[in-house]
Amino acid sequence: MKKKIVRIIRRCMNSVTVGILGFLIIALVLISTSIYNTRLSEKSADESVHAISEFYLKELGERRSFTIHTRIKQIEENLMHAFEIAKDRRLKNQSELRAFLEEIRELYGYERVAVVDEQKLLYTAHATMSGVSRYSFLSDEITKPRVYTMNLYRAHKQVILVVPLKGMRVGSNTLKIAFIRINLSAILNEIISQTDDTETVSKVYYNNGQNMVKVDEKEEDNILQMLKDSEFVDNHSYTDLNDDFYECKTGFTSYKSGDAINYMYYTPVEGTKWIYAVTIRESSISNNVSSIKDSMLVRNNLQIITIIVVMIIAFTMFILYSRRMEREEKRHLVKLSQTDAMTGIYNRGGGERMISEAIDAKAEGLFILLDADKFKSVNDNYGHDVGDKVIISIADALKSSFRDDDIVMRLGGDEFAVYAPGVCDSDAASHVIRRFFKAIDAIEIPEMENRKICVSLGACFWLVSDPIHFENLYKRADAMLYDSKQVEGNHVEYWKK
């Protein structure tokens, strides 16, 4: 047993050693990576500008493009929700409809809200008119939400969100669609103000290059026409830019504007034919390369520190787990050394140690020795396999009859012993022994051809008033067991002075 425990301790120490070596190797790799990244980040600013500008503009452009799409989607959901409410209200006439449209406009702050019926009459909060000549989309079949750009080649362009209405009636009229004007310029200004960005220029273009948010007459009308004769750098070309716009693709380009180089990232706005473009001058990137480099270094170092801390925690948990497993293994081995392999109860060594400890603690109780009557004939007539079944059945009867805190052990062969703390008189003892005899009577082993198992018991009490050693207690019970075996059937004899 001691050799087994030594082997376990050595195995755990080997695991700890491997863990420490692994930790040191990973720590060395992380430190080397940190040094390499530090040297890499010390490259000249000129070599880093292009990569950083593309990364920065891509992150900014994707986020803002997605935000524009999200805002329009939110407006669409608000409008659909509002008209679902209108269905429930069952508007009866045009007056109630106009009041409801005004309520929507004030609630959401929309510039204009209108609905169109099956006759293509247009209703707003203040008027009813024919809108076919003004709104060309009224001649389209609208089956899902769509975004239109009206008056595209005029200075004041309008973005219209159109949603279909299903099952919507006002009086005898069936409403087919609803639409609102979207203030794209306000959305774009809000996005830019939220990022506190003063170094980039953000625009929304139609896929033919037309500027959709022109707030100054000096601004270009068409980005593609403006850049047609520009000099593109870093292997970029006007042809690629033009194709990407018309095909609504994402891209990155760089071109000269005077003596300066501009970087532009462009990406389509989902659900539209718009292109969101964000442009920044090379000088702005160059001025910020140092701060970006520093922030990347800080982030890299924080990541390494975090990994090291996590590794230390994991290593500590590994050590604690190894020690816990070592203790559990020791307890398991100790339990195995005290347990009878066949029956699962205490063996002689384990049981006697537990009884001695109980007596040393002055725990008064009942001590019983027992064995099976005529057990040798069972082995002779039915074989040792059946004899083993008898032993196991008696052990099971003991476990079911006595309490979990009682000490039940197998001495060897068909001999067993029990110590029941707290059972200190014959009345209490008779009660538990009757229960045990009843469990013995219930044993049925098919191979024994209805032959019943019988046991003989010798019992005595250990009392504080009669503090004898365990050896003497055992002798008293053994003497009573001898007397008990003189009686046929299940029987118990108690020690009496």
User: Which pLDDT does position 150 carry in this prediction?
Assistant: 73
User: Which pLDDT does position 1 carry in this prediction?
Assistant: 47
* 3-state secondary structure at position 405: coil
Find, among 228, 173, 182, 231, the residue nearest to 204 by Cα. Answer: 182
**Cα 206 to Cα 72: distance, rounded to the nearest angstrom:** 16
Residue type, 349: G
User: Which pLDDT does position 433 carry in this prediction?
Assistant: 95
Q: Is-contact 282 263, C-beta < 8 A? A: yes
Helix axes 45-89, 282-338, angle to 10 degrees: 80
Helix (H) or strand (E) holding 278: strand 274-281
CATH number of the 348-494 domain: 3.30.70.270
> CB burial class (10 A; 0-12, 13-18, 19+) of residue 113?
buried
User: Which pLDDT does position 431 carry in this prediction?
Assistant: 95
**Do the strands 113-117 and 455-462 form a parallel or antiparallel pair, or are they unpaired?**
unpaired
> Quick one: tokens of 43?
């490259």
Instruction: List the chain domain ranges.
Output: 2-47+302-324, 48-301, 348-494
Model pTM? 0.45
User: Which pLDDT does position 307 carry in this prediction?
Assistant: 77
What are the C-alpha distances in Å from 166 to residues 118, 199, 219, 237?
A: 12, 46, 42, 48
CA-angle at 221, arms to 152 and 205, nearest 5°: 65
User: Which pLDDT does position 219 carry in this prediction?
Assistant: 63
pLDDT (tens digit, 0 to 9) for every residue of the chain, 497 residues total? 445 545 555 555 555 566 666 667 776 776 676 666 666 555 554 556 667 677 778 888 888 888 888 888 888 888 888 888 877 778 888 888 888 888 888 888 777 788 888 888 888 888 788 766 777 777 788 888 888 877 644 545 678 888 888 878 888 888 888 888 887 777 777 777 655 555 678 888 888 888 877 655 566 678 898 888 888 988 889 999 999 999 999 999 988 888 888 888 999 988 888 898 988 877 666 665 556 566 666 777 777 788 778 778 877 887 788 778 777 777 766 666 788 889 989 999 889 999 999 999 999 999 999 999 999 999 999 999 999 999 999 999 999 999 999 999 999 999 999 999 999 998 999 999 999 999 999 999 988 888 899 999 999 999 999 888 999 999 999 999 999 999 999 999 999 87
**Cα 448 to Cα 443: distance, rounded to the nearest angstrom:** 11
Residue 362: CB atoms within 10 Å: 10
pLDDT in tens, 354-375: 999 999 999 999 999 999 999 9
Which residue, chain included where needed, has tokens 């299903």?
A: 166
Residue 439: CB atoms within 10 Å: 17
Which residue, chain included where needed, has tokens 């009843």?
A: 438
Residues near 16 by beta carbon (within 8 Å), at least 6 away in sequence: 318, 319, 322
What are the C-alpha distances in Å from 406 to residues 188, 230, 281?
A: 81, 97, 87
Residue 79: CB atoms within 10 Å: 22
User: Which pLDDT does position 492 carry in this prediction?
Assistant: 95
Q: DSSP letter string over 425-477? A: SHHHHHHHHHHHHHHHHT---GGGTTPPP-EEEEEEEEBTTB---HHHHHHHH
Q: Is-contact 1 337, C-beta < 8 A? A: yes
User: Which pLDDT does position 11 carry in this prediction?
Assistant: 58
Find, among 164, 166, 170, 167, the residue nearest to 90 by Cα. Answer: 170
User: Which pLDDT does position 187 carry in this prediction?
Assistant: 79
Order of strands, sheet of 365-372, starting from the edge strand that comes earlier in the sequence:
407-412, 415-421, 365-372, 455-462, 491-494
User: Which pLDDT does position 158 carry in this prediction?
Assistant: 77
Q: Is-contact 410 418, C-beta < 8 A? A: no
Residue 268: CB atoms within 10 Å: 19
Q: Is-contact 464 364, C-beta < 8 A? A: yes
Let me know how long the chain is: 497
